[in-house]
Structure 1
Amino acid sequence: MGIIDIILLLLYVIAIVTAVYILFKHRSYFHERFKKGVVSVFMLAMLFFLAAYTFKMAIVLLIRASTVFGFASPELSVWLLEGWTLAQIGTTGGLIALAWLTWTGRYDQFVQLRRLDKKIEEDIDDADA
């Protein structure tokens, strides 16, 4: 194991820990906003991106650790590649949403979850009738 391997493993762990810390510290905001039924679109995009990024960093940590510590296998490589692909889709989607909000300058948009829930329930009731 070389110095680069140690640095990369350390940086990946720091990235995961800081991302989890940010998610943890914002949990009260999301809990409160979901309870009230209105959430900032920007904060939702940030949550989506950060959750996907955290998952992506966990995958890259496993990729690097399997190489460094010698527990890599073809089956593990396939699983990690699929996980990486899902995480990349999530981070790209989150970045697209954040870029769109930044480009439009609409940081004050909100999603009304309760109204959406009621509309879905009404549509389901109408379909059953």
Structure 2
Amino acid sequence: MGGIDILLLIAYGISFACALLLIAALFLYFRTRFRARVVSLFMLAAFAFLGAYTVKMAVAFWIRFSNVTGAGADSVYAALKSNAWAVAQTCTTLGLLILTVLMYTRRQDLFMIFPAVREREDTDDANTGSGKA
């Protein structure tokens, strides 16, 4: 195991841990925003990008670790790593593309507004058929 391998494993591990901490913080942010029924599309796209990036860092760590230790050298693991990397890279690229389009069209302030939830009485009337038509 060379110095570059150790450096990359440490960098991938730190990136993965930071991304997980950011996802946890954003999850709490989105929980309050969904309760308020208003969500920023830019923040939602950033959350999706961060999720894809986190998967990408996990796959990168897995690939680097298995290359250093020699574990998983057969063709099935190689194909699985390649497919996982392709999916992670594609999702990361899509997230970056969406964020770039939102930035350059100056649409960072778009919000998605969810309709109010009906009261239980309205849905109960509709389900039992006791409402008048």
**Offset of 1:104 from its aligned partner?**
1.1
**Offset of 1:18 from its aligned partner?**
0.6
**Offset of 1:66 from its aligned partner?**
0.5
Q: What is residue 47 of structure 1 aligned with on the other side?
A: 47
Contiguous gaps of at least 5 residues in structure 1:
119-129
Amino acid in structure 1 at the alignment position of 2:90: I
Q: Which runs of 4+ in 1 moved over 6 A?
A: none
1:48-70 deviation digits (Å, cap 9, x = unpaired): 00000000110011001011011
Amino acid in structure 2 at the alignment position of 1:81: S
Q: What is residue 26 of structure 1 aligned with on the other side?
A: 26
Aligned-pair identity (%): 40
The TM-score, its normalising length taken from structure 2, stands at: 0.82
The TM-score, its normalising length taken from structure 1, stands at: 0.84
SS in 2 for 1:26: helix
Deviates more, 1:40-49 or 1:27-36: 27-36
Contiguous gaps of at least 5 residues in structure 2:
119-133
Amino acid in structure 2 at the alignment position of 1:56: K
Amino acid in structure 2 at the alignment position of 1:38: V
Q: What is residue 64 of structure 1 aligned with on the other side?
A: 64
User: Of Structure 1 and Structure 2, which has the larger fraction of its residues in helix?
Assistant: 1
Equivalenced residue count is 117
SS in 1 for 2:108: coil
